[in-house]
Amino acid sequence: MLSQHLVILPILIPLLAALLQLLPWGANPQFYRRIIGLVSCSVLLVVSALLLITSTEGAQVYALGSWQAPYGIVLVADRLSALMVLLTAVLALPVLIYACHGEDNLGSHFQALFQFQLVGIIGAFLTGDLFNLFVFFEILLISSYALLMHGGGKLKLRACLHYVLLNLTGSAIFLISLGVLYGITGTLNMADMAVKVAALTGDDATIARAGGILLLVVFGLKAALLPLYFWLPQAYAMTTGTVAALFAIMTKVGIYGILRVFTLIFGAGAGEAAMLGYDWLWWLGLATLAIGGIGVIGSRDLRLVISYLVVISVGTMLTTFSMGNERAISAVVYYLFHSTLVTGALFLLVDIMAKQRGKTASRIIKGRKLAQHALLGVLFLISAVTVIGMPPLSGFIGKLFILEAARTGAQVALLWPLVLFSSFLVMVALARAGSRMFWHTFEGKAAEDKSPAGQLVAVALLLSGAVLMTLFARPISAYTDAIAHDLMHPQSYISTVLHQSGGAHE
């Protein structure tokens, strides 16, 4: 019975937890809400691992209300979506552990909003329908608006205003693109749309291409692709460490949308709409990578530096994806998993450092000695080595995969220098920050308020992901190779969604 409903469980678990957390819980409601949240994330992690295992046998389709595709709403768990759900669960549990040590008290209903955010993110990964992708986008965005303001403050309000306005515009464009595509194909099921777009010719194909370009704009906004990245640095830098760490997965929703739609619907088999937007992604990805490097070296606040690291990772992944081959997509998926965990860990770590430094907070200036100076220094060094891409950790392996995926002369001539030079800029920026915060400190007594052990454990758990990705690089690479093959050959996905029997459930 459990296996029959495994695909929908990652959505139902945080949804049920959020509803329970909204109930009044007597004299100490926060305690019970924390317990519910931690249990929910723990169960979600187990269910996500089971879903990943079952997805290796082929895409799992769940038809809600027994309405078969393309007429009904379907959830689809293939290798890529199952991996993204697992990544969300792996990130969420340590981040929630961190938040439960005080930061969730800064505003009301943080715990429920956290779970609703997971509902939106996971739903976006599992849906097989473009309209429901829009619906789950809205769920995660509405939750993110409130989470971004968690704790209050004028700077957060200004950053949130920019974030809300840009995403409302993106939502409007998303609806327009859905209207265009539905009008020309008569369907919003992604597998069915892939079949119908491939058969379009002439003006109909041109209209479909226009709808696809609008989708690319929407996903580019979510992923923070140049010139649509301006909302990200300030939004991530001004919010709390917990929220910024959770938001490390937010840009990956946009990247997932590009990976899914522009291989399935507008991939090599899309007829006159084939390989739509790939040339644009190449140049815009390179520009995003370059502007991220400039932002890193120009930032004078460590939170802002980490925010620009997210921009660099987005540019790196989308440039690599635009090369349009299996080796490139496999490298993107490996790098995506690595970058999410390490940037999440860095946001939490910098939050700890900022609290112990007092008034100087996360600014890259001389400050007082940290209460847990040696331990935080070691964690910062491991994080820096990983995110820079120095051997032997997962950052080095991920960038090696990306550089190795560039095969033509033009790809090598443009991608290699930008990736290597941006890595050099990141190394300089983090070395400068580390020297200021750990070496050139004020003389005298160190800070007294030590961070709770649970927060340090949360950072260590996320950083352990980099170690595990290094130790198990070969099997992980084999899995990402299988994902890349599935994306570049979507016929099996299409056939499973449209023709699988026994996939309906009430």
pTM: predicted TM-score of the whole model, two decimal places: 0.93
Instruction: Check residue 438 and give its pLDDT.
Output: 87
Range of lowest pLDDT (177-186, 191-200, 482-491, 494-503): 494-503
Nearest to 344 by CA among 221, 454, 232, 243: 243
119, 125, 131, 137 alpha-carbon torsion, rounded to 10°: 50
Tens of pLDDT along 35-90? Answer: 999 999 999 999 999 999 999 888 899 988 777 778 888 999 999 999 999 999 99
Nearest to 75 by CA among 134, 2, 133, 143: 133
505 has a pLDDT exceeding 70: no
Taking each continuous run of H as one helix and of E as one strand, the counts in the chain are 20, 3
175 has a pLDDT exceeding 90: yes
Nearest to 124 by CA among 222, 228, 3, 5: 222
3-state secondary structure at position 98:
helix
Burial string for 344-364 (b: 16+ CB within 10 Å, else e) reads: bbbbbbbbbbbbbbeebbbbb
94 has a pLDDT exceeding 90: yes
- Cα 7 from Cα 489, distance rounded (Å): 22
Q: Where are the domains of the chain?
A: 287-496
506 has a pLDDT exceeding 50: no
Instruction: Check residue 421 and give its pLDDT.
Output: 94
Name the band, by pLDDT with cuts 50, 70 and 90, for residue 5: confident
Give me the helices (H) in 358-408, please.
373-388, 394-405
Name the band, by pLDDT with cuts 50, 70 and 90, for residue 1: low
Tens of pLDDT along 95-151? Answer: 999 999 877 887 778 999 999 999 999 999 999 999 999 999 999 999 998 888 876
- Cα 449 from Cα 28, distance rounded (Å): 25
Instruction: Check residue 51 and give its pLDDT.
Output: 94
Residue 464 vs residue 501, higher pLDDT: 464
For residue 457, the one-letter residue type is: V
Tens of pLDDT along 343-402? Answer: 999 999 999 999 888 888 888 888 888 888 889 999 999 999 999 998 888 999 999 999
Tens of pLDDT along 263-296? Answer: 999 988 888 999 998 999 999 999 999 999 999 9
DSSP string of 37-85?
HHHHHHHHHHHHHHHHHHHTTS-EEEEETT--TTTS-EEEE-HHHHHHH
